[in-house]
Amino acid sequence: MRMFSVISAALVVCCACAGPAETPAFQGTLSFGPSELVFGYEEGETVVTVESDCEWGAAVSDPSWCTIFPGGGVAGKTEVKVKVQKNLFAEERENCITFRYGRKTAELPVVQTPSSDGPQMFVPEGYKLFWSDEFEGNSLNTDNWTAETGAGGWGNAELQYYTDRTENVAVRDGKLVITARRENYNGAPVTSARLITLDKVKFLYGYVVASIKLPKTANGLWPAFWMMGNDIRTNPWPNCGETDILEMGHANGIAAGTQEKFLNGACHWGVPGHQYYAHDITNSYSVQDGKFHTFTCIWDEDYIRMYIDLETYPDAKPYFEMKIVDFGDNEFRKENFILLNLAVGGNFPAIWDIGQVTALRDGEAAMEVDYVRVFQKK
C-alpha cells in the first residue's frame, strides 16, 4: 500500500554562470513534479519527473529510510525513482530531497504516515535508527546483503557448502530464513548460507540488535550473528577485528547437555598474531524454545557489551563485556559490517563427521531472523 500526492509544480530558478561582463548570464532552470510526496506507512515507491536545461544532482537528507535513483542528471527529462521503507514508528516522519544545479537548490518534501497496526519499533533512549532490514518482500535485499558461496571449512573445518540458493536462504512471511540441509552438494555433505553486509552497510559504533529464532543446535549446528572490520579485504583477518555477538553450539555446551542455554560472545584481533577474549554463559532459560529472542551489542569508543532480550528485560546484565584499548590496529574503533550464518560442524562444536550432526537427522534445520537494526547516538 502506498499513497502520495499528485500536486504538480514547476520551480524555475535562475543561476548565473561565469562569463565576460558584457555576455548575458546563462539562465539555468529546473522543475519537478509532484511538488510533495506523502507515503502511507507501508514500504512504497513512486516516480518524480525532473526537467532541466543544465546538469543537476540530488540528495536525501535522511537516506536511512528514503532513497532515490538516479541521484543526478543532465539537461532534459529524467525520471527519478523514490523509495521508502516501512515506517515502524508511532510518529509521522519527514524527509527532504534537495536538487542542486548551478549555485541554486530546490527542495522536495517527503512525508510518511505512522504505522497504524502491528508492533512499534523499539528505539533505545538516546539513539536514532541508522539502518535496518525488516525482511519485507519476497527476496533477499541485495542492496544490503551478499550471500557468500563456497566450502573449504571457512577456517574452522566446517562441513557445509554455503550457497545463494533459495533452498538455503529465503525471505518469507517477513522473516529471513537460513536453512541447513543435509545433502551432497559440490563434494560437501551439507549446505547452508552465510550473509554479509560488507561494503553495503557499514558503521562505526552503535546499538546493534537482531531478533532471531534459533534452531535446536543439538550436536553440530553453529548459528552466529557477528561483525568484522569493513577493511577486511585490505587488512585480512584477524587484523580487521571480529566481534561475535551470538554463537551457539559449542562443544562445552554439548558436553554439559546445556546446548539450548549455552552461548558465548567473543572479540578477536591480530596484534601480535591472533588474540582473542571470549566469555561463555549458561543462560537461565532456553533461547532455542521456538521463540524469537533479541541479541544486542552496544558498542562505543570505550566498551563492547552484549545482551540477551534487553528489550524485554531492560535491567539485564551483559553476558559479555570488554573494554576497548588500542591493540595495534584500532580493530574496534573503525567501521564494521554484519554477518549472519548457520554453520554445520567444525572446530567450535568439535564435530567433523556429518554422521554425528544429530540436529540434521530430519534432513534440515532453519535459523529465522525477524529483523536486524543498527541505532546510533543522537
DSSP string, 257-301: T-TTTEEEEEEEE-TTSSEEEEEEEE-SS-S-SSS-EEEEEEE-S
- pLDDT less than 50: residues of the chain: 1-20
For the sheet with 275-282, list strands across it. Answer: 146-148, 194-196, 336-344, 221-229, 242-248, 262-269, 275-282
Please state whether the peptide bond connecting residue 272 to the residue before it is cis, i.e. omega within 30 degrees of 0.
yes
242 is catalytic: yes
User: In this structure, are strands 37-39 and 104-112 parallel, antiparallel, or unpaired?
Assistant: parallel
Residues across the chain: 378
- 158 among known catalytic residues: no
Residue pair 182/160 in contact (Cβ under 8 Å)? The answer is: no
CA–chain centroid gap for 124, Å, is 17
CATH numeric code, 127-377: 2.60.120.200
pLDDT at 276: 94
pLDDT of residue 136: 87
pLDDT of residue 22: 53
pLDDT in tens, 200-250: 999 999 999 999 999 999 999 999 999 999 999 999 999 999 999 999 999
- In one-letter notation, the amino acid at residue 308 is I
Sign of CA dihedral 326, 331, 332, 333: positive
**pLDDT at residue 11, rounded to an integer:** 35
Domain ranges of the chain: 30-112, 127-377
Alpha carbons 173 and 163: distance in angstroms, whole number: 21
Catalytic residue among 134, 158, 242, 331: 242
pLDDT number for residue 356:
96
In the CATH hierarchy, which top-level class contains the domain 30-112?
A: mainly beta
Task: Determine which one of 43, 134, 158, 247 is catalytic.
Answer: 247
Question: CA gyration radius for the chain?
Answer: 24
pLDDT in the model for residue 13: 37
